[in-house]
Amino acid sequence: MEALFFGTSLIAIVDYQKATDNSKFGYLMRHSTAANQIGDVASEAVLHSFEFALTGAVNDWITIYAEVLYDPEQSFGAGIITALTRN
């Protein structure tokens, strides 16, 4: 094998918000639910996506590529962010 390349990508989202008014997070939160709109503090931590890739040049004519990707679709359905009803 002439060359071998590894690549990774990690995208995470973390936020913390504090307000002087109670229960005003419906328009501030990225994934607002009834559970995180109550009170004057809201926070979330989400693993948005992770990727691992491998590319290899076997010779001048042949290249191989493999990729593992974790990228869940997120919706505004009921339940926690990883619940099947939201993904």
Three-state SS for 53-73 is EEEEECCCCCEEEEEEEECCC
Q: For 22-81, how does the pLDDT look when each residue is reduced to its tens digit (9 = 90+)?
A: 766 555 555 555 555 667 777 778 788 899 999 999 988 999 999 999 887 666 666 665
What single-letter amino acid sits at 71?
Answer: D
- Non-local (6+) Cβ contacts of 58 within 8 A are 1, 2, 64
30 near 87, Cβ under 8 Å? no
